[in-house]
Amino acid sequence: MIWYKFHIGDYISHTMHLDDAEDLAYRRLLDWYYMGEKPLPLDVTLVARRIRLDEEVVQPVLDEFFDKTESGYINSRADREIAAYNLRVELNRKSGKLGGRPKSIEVSKEEPLSPPKQNRTDTEQKKDISSAKPTRFLEFWDIWPKSPRKVAKATCEKKWKAGGLDKVADQIIAHVTAMKGTKQWTDGFEPAPQTYINQRRWEDGQDTAENPFRRGV
């Protein structure tokens, strides 16, 4: 398949939480999927190498927007688009032989680039809208020092929301701010944000974080 419909509004509404690298990964994965018309390999290392991005960026995107099966990662929405496209091509081919034009086949108008989900109730949709309300995660992400370990933004945000960390956002932000001034962090030995959240590093205080041998990063 050499082209597919791209609805900008739908795409943006489903990907606003992605950072630049994750957004790029999703676009490249979609292009690969539509071009190949088959599942993406299960080997994430291979996939990451193919789209020239880090595994830490690619894995969360695959988990969120694709379904893992025995044959590979699939996107049900893309599969429907591909099937409709191939049907239209086949009808055009047959019509050409008969000297006529087939009835137009309209590709589904469902959201083309949203994650493959089943039909949802109004209650579930309202819940999604509620969960999309801004949290203080972006404050945390913005003050985190820039380094190669600052990855997996979408995964970190999910863990932030799941842990209800808005309640202790002031404590977390204050701790990160303090740690940015320590020798360990200024020398580039800060943990990955996901590790920081998973291990609740802000509860250790500055002294523990100054000693990297008490916990792995």
What confidence tier does 142 reach under pLDDT thresholds 50, 70, 90? Answer: very high
Q: Is the pTM of this model over 0.85?
A: no
3-class state of residue 16 by DSSP = coil
Identify which has the larger pLDDT, 134 or 104. Answer: 134
For the stretch 9-34, pLDDT in tens is: 778 888 889 999 999 999 999 899 88
Residue 161, CA distances (Å) to 64, 66, 74, 204 in order: 16, 21, 27, 21
| Contact (Cβ atoms closer than 8 angstroms) between residue 165 and residue 172 | yes
Q: Which residues contact 142 (CB under 8 A, 6 or more apart)?
A: none
Mean pLDDT of 97-120: 55
Domain boundaries, the chain: 1-116, 131-214
List the Cα angle 190/191/193 in 5-degree steps. Answer: 115
